[in-house]
């Protein structure tokens, strides 16, 4: 049914109903006309009975008036008898078409009766009563036969009329029953067809409705009914196209959202990079400005030490000539001066170290790019950092865990700079883990630092994770800024992460991120792009 259009289905349904109606009507019309023919026949037969009865009555009157004529000899009787005969003749003439032989027989009997009766009247007129009586008796014989014949005609006609009426009634009843059956069957078939047609429309419509409701709520996986050749099929096709458009739209929206997110991330990192770059410039500027006066301080400090030594030599005889108290006073002042100058020289050197770091930081790239085994480089830096820390503090200890991806192929980088980054990360991790150990109430706490390297297709990843003090969220934004440090004065410059950031992002085109929870862990993740490395190396070459 779904192969037909809804219009065709409805036309077929209406045509079927009309056809049944026309067929039933035709049948009923034909049966009714047959029935009315039976009724007409019965009515004709009734008329025949009427005529036969009329003939019988007229014949009775004729016999009466003939007998009366024979006795009374009156012309009135003769006229009445003639009139009755005429009436009877008329009735017989009307009956003749129905059964001519019988009517002929009746006429012959009536004629013979008439003949004998006429003769009897003549004999009575001539007063020959005996002959008249005998002739009348003969006439009566014929009248009896004629009467019986007319009676049989009435009986036959009555039988036929009854049969015709019975037949018409029976046929009408049969036609009524049949038409009732046909109408019931037509109603049933019509209801079934209507049900089928409605179902063929309503079921797919419901499916379409469900699909539309699903699409309305944004569910593009909703089942869309198969598109047939009918009108509902056309709607299903349109709906499928709509679904495809929706899927495409969703895909574009997702792409746009991803692009937007990427854009935001790039923007943030650009802003950050710009900030870092301007901070780097500032650092370089400050370092340059400080370097000269600092040189003066350092130079004059060392000069002053030498001058003080010369001064001590020069005034030695004079001091020796002084009294013990005065000599002790002078010695104390010169010793204090020497100690002060030593302090100036020491801190001047430290300040010089800081200025050197700042200048190194601002100069950026410091070494040659070359292919290196990242695992070996990491291992080397780890050992260096560990032994360095142990050399500084013999009590220092930490559990080192390594998870190196052996599939990492050598990549191009500046080994000294990446080592510097790693040394700083390891140093920071050691410091934080050791700090937590020192501050922890729990004696079983074991400082641990884990290093993981992984090959990630186009990238390589290094993770440095320690179980130290962690970094409070309010410090996260400042971590990579130059001079940000939480270490006590003299222990850290706050340049380590700033330099590392510069090396990883600007020099190697990679990323460095941090994840941390206070008193649980800190994990730094460095990602270096393989292709970018190659591209940068190629650009450099
Ligand atoms: N693994 C870590 N755990 C906890 N805090 C850390 C960690 N790494 C860095 N930090 C915090 O970030 C600050 C900045 O680190 P950065 O390496 O730049 O400087 P620094 O270590 O303080 O000084 P320097 O590196 O010159 O010795 C640190 O002072 C510390 O507060
Ligand atoms: Mg550091």
- pLDDT tens digits, one per residue of 168-225: 888 888 878 887 887 888 888 888 888 988 888 888 889 889 989 998 888 888 888 8
Task: Give yes or no for residue 33 having a pLDDT over 90.
Answer: no
Q: ∠ at Cα 398 (396, 400), nearest 5°? A: 145
Which 8-state DSSP code applies to residue 226? P
Task: Give yes or no for residue 480 having a pLDDT over 90.
Answer: yes
51 lines ligand 1 (CB under 6 A): no
* Last residue in a domain, options 161, 182, 206: 206
388 lines ligand 1 (CB under 6 A): no
* Last residue in a domain, options 162, 186, 206: 206
- Give 345-402 as a DSSP string: HHHHHHHHHHHHHHHHHHH---S--EEE-HHHHHHHHHHHHHHHHHHH-TT---EEEE
Task: Give yes or no for residue 132 having a pLDDT over 50.
Answer: yes
Indicate if 201 and 341 belong to the same structural domain. no
At residue 362 the predicted structure's pLDDT band, cuts being 50, 70 and 90, is low
The protein residues having their C-beta less than 5 angstroms from ligand 2 (an ion) are 424, 428, 496
Please give the Cα distance from 224 to 207 (Å, whole number): 7
Which residue puts its alpha carbon closest to atom 7 of ligand 1?
428
In tens, the pLDDT along 251-277 reads: 999 999 999 998 998 887 778 777 767
Per-residue pLDDT at 541: 38
Indicate if 75 and 93 belong to the same structural domain. yes
Lowest mean pLDDT among 3-7, 62-66, 161-165, 475-479: 3-7
Per-residue pLDDT at 367: 66
Give the percent of the chain with pLDDT over 70.
96
Indicate if 354 and 415 belong to the same structural domain. no
Which residue puts its alpha carbon closest to atom 8 of ligand 1?
428
Please give the Cα distance from 359 to 286 (Å, whole number): 9
At residue 535 the predicted structure's pLDDT band, cuts being 50, 70 and 90, is very low
* Listed residue (193, 230, 232) closest to 212, CA to CA: 232
- Which of 423, 428, 435 for a ligand 1 pocket mutation test, highest count of atoms within 8 Å of Cβ? 428
Q: Taking the CB of residue 526, how many other CB atoms lie within 10 A of it?
A: 23
Looking from the CA of residue 429, the nearest atom of ligand 1 is: 1
- Which of 430, 490, 497, 516 for a ligand 1 pocket mutation test, highest count of atoms within 8 Å of Cβ? 497
230: in domain:
no
Structure tokens at 388: 């360095």
Lowest mean pLDDT among 66-80, 101-115, 305-319, 364-378: 364-378
Indicate if 341 and 384 belong to the same structural domain. no
186: in domain:
yes
Give, for 38, the enclosing helix (H) or strand (E). helix 6-72
Indicate if 143 and 278 belong to the same structural domain. no
Per-residue pLDDT at 97: 87
528 lines ligand 1 (CB under 6 A): no
CB burial of 329-348 (b: ≥16 within 10 Å; e: otherwise) equals eeeeebeeeeeebeebbeeb
Task: Give yes or no for residue 540 having a pLDDT over 50.
Answer: no
In tens, the pLDDT along 398-421 reads: 999 999 999 998 898 988 889 999
At residue 536 the predicted structure's pLDDT band, cuts being 50, 70 and 90, is low
Which residue range is the domain that position 447 belongs to?
365-540
Indicate if 433 and 520 belong to the same structural domain. yes
- Which of 398, 429, 485, 503 for a ligand 1 pocket mutation test, highest count of atoms within 8 Å of Cβ? 485
531: in domain:
yes
Do residues 420 and 378 lie in contact, with contact meaning Cβ atoms separated by under 8 Å? Answer: no
Indicate if 472 and 450 belong to the same structural domain. yes
What CATH number is given to the structural domain containing 377?
3.30.565.10
Give distance in angstroms: CA of 497 to centre of ligand 1: 7
221: in domain:
no
Give distance in angstroms: CA of 428 to centre of ligand 1: 5
Give the percent of the chain with pLDDT over 90.
35
At residue 40 the predicted structure's pLDDT band, cuts being 50, 70 and 90, is confident
241: in domain:
no
496 lines ligand 1 (CB under 6 A): yes
The contacts of residue 226 (CB under 8 Å, 6+ apart) are 233, 236
* Last residue in a domain, options 178, 206, 234: 206
What CATH number is given to the structural domain containing 56?
1.20.120.1730
- Which has more pLDDT, 5 or 537? 5
Indicate if 292 and 410 belong to the same structural domain. no
At residue 539 the predicted structure's pLDDT band, cuts being 50, 70 and 90, is very low
For the purposes of burial, counting CB atoms within 10 Å of the CB of 508, is it exposed (0-12), middle (13-18) or buried (19 or more)? buried
Helix pair angle (415-439, 374-392), 10° resolution: 40
Indicate if 372 and 351 belong to the same structural domain. no
Indicate if 69 and 199 belong to the same structural domain. yes
Give distance in angstroms: CA of 317 to centre of ligand 2: 52
Shortest-distance ligand to the CA of residue 464: 1
- Which has more pLDDT, 287 or 91? 91
440: in domain:
yes
Q: What is the DSSP pairing of strand 459-466 with strand 521-529?
A: antiparallel
479 lines ligand 1 (CB under 6 A): yes
Structure tokens at 350: 């430290």
In tens, the pLDDT along 371-400 reads: 899 999 999 999 999 999 998 899 999 999
Please give the Cα distance from 453 to 460 (Å, whole number): 7
What strands lie across the sheet with 521-529, from one edge to the other? 399-403, 448-456, 459-466, 521-529, 511-517
Please state the rounded mean pLDDT for residues 122-141: 89
Which 8-state DSSP code applies to residue 473? G
Task: Give yes or no for residue 70 having a pLDDT over 60.
Answer: yes
* Listed residue (198, 192, 187) closest to 10, CA to CA: 198
Task: Give yes or no for residue 350 having a pLDDT over 90.
Answer: no
Task: Give yes or no for residue 533 having a pLDDT over 60.
Answer: no
Give distance in angstroms: CA of 434 to centre of ligand 2: 14
Task: Give yes or no for residue 465 having a pLDDT over 60.
Answer: yes
Structure tokens at 113: 């009766």
In tens, the pLDDT along 103-117 reads: 999 999 999 998 998
Please state the rounded mean pLDDT for residues 510-516: 95
Please give the Cα distance from 457 to 462 (Å, whole number): 14
Task: Give yes or no for residue 356 having a pLDDT over 90.
Answer: no
Looking from the CA of residue 491, the nearest atom of ligand 1 is: 27
Mean pLDDT taken over the chain = 87
Lowest mean pLDDT among 38-47, 89-98, 307-316, 363-372: 363-372
Q: How many domains does the chain have?
A: 3
What CATH number is given to the structural domain containing 324?
1.10.287
Indicate if 39 and 127 belong to the same structural domain. yes
At residue 291 the predicted structure's pLDDT band, cuts being 50, 70 and 90, is confident
Indicate if 306 and 443 belong to the same structural domain. no
Per-residue pLDDT at 270: 78
Looking from the CA of residue 466, the nearest atom of ligand 1 is: 1
211: in domain:
no
- Which has more pLDDT, 95 or 537? 95
Per-residue pLDDT at 534: 52
Shortest-distance ligand to the CA of residue 502: 1
């Amino acid at each position: 049914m779904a192969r037909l259009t809804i219009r065709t289905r409805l036309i077929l349904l209406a045509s079927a109903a009309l056809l049944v109606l026309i067929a039933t009507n035709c049948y009923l019309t034909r049966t009714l006309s047959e029935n009315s023919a039976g009724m007409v026949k019965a009515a004709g037969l009734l008329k025949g009975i009427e005529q036969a009865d009329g003939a019988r009555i007229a014949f009775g009157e004729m016999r009466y008036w003939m007998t009366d004529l024979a006795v009374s000899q009156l012309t009135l009787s003769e006229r009445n008898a003639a009139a009755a005969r005429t009436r009877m003749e008329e009735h017989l003439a009307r009956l003749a078409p129905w059964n001519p032989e019988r009517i002929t027989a009746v006429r012959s009997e009536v004629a013979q009766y008439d003949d004998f009766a006429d003769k009897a009247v003549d004999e009575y007129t001539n007063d020959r009563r005996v002959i008249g009586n005998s002739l009348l008796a003969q006439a009566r014989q014929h009248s009896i036969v004629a009467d019986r014949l007319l009676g049989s005609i009435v009986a036959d006609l009555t039988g036929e009329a009854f049969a015709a009426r019975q037949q018409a009634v029976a046929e009408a009843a049969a036609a009524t029953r049949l038409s009732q059956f046909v109408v019931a069957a037509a109603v049933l078939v019509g209801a079934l067809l209507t049900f089928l047609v409605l179902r063929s429309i309503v079921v797919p419509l419901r499916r379409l409705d469900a699909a539309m409701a699903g699409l309305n709520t944004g569910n593009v996986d909703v089942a869309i009914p198969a598109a047939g050749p009918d009108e509902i099929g056309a709607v299903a096709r349109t709906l499928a196209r709509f679904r495809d458009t929706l899927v495409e739209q969703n895909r574009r929206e997702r792409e746009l959202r991803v692009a937007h997110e990427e854009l935001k991330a790039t923007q943030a990192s650009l802003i950050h990079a710009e900030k870092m770059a301007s901070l780097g410039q500032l650092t370089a500027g400050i370092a340059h400005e400080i370097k000269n006066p600092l040189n003066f301080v350092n130079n004059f400090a060392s000069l002053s030490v030498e001058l003080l030594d010369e001064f001590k030599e020069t005034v030695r005889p004079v001091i020796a000539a002084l009294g013990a108290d005065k000599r002790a006073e002078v010695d104390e002042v010169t010793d204090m001066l020497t100690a002060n100058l030593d302090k100036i020289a020491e801190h001047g050197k430290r300040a010089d170290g800081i200025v050197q770091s700042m200048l190194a930081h601002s100069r950026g790239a410091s070494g040659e790019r070359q292919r290196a085994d990242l695992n070996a480089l990491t291992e080397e830096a780890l050992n260096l950092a560990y032994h360095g820390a142990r050399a500084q503090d013999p009590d220092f200890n930490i559990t080192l865990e390594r998870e190196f991806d052996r599939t990492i192929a050598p990549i191009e980088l500046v080994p000294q700079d990446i080592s510097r980054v790693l040394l700083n990360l390891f140093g920071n991790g050691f410091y934080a883990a050791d700090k937590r150990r020192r501050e922890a109430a729990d004696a079983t706490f074991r400082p641990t630092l884990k290093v993981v390297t992984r090959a990630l297709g186009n990238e390589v990843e290094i993770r440095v994770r320690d179980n130290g003090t962690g970094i409070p969220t309010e410090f996260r934004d400042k971590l990579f800024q130059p001079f940000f440090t939480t270490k006590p004065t003299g222990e850290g410059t706050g340049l380590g992460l700033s330099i590392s950031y510069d090396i990883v992002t600007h020099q190697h085109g990679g990323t460095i991120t941090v994840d941390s929870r206070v008193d649980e862990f800190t994990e730094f993740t460095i990602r270096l792009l393989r292709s970018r490395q190659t591209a940068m190396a190629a650009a450099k070459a």
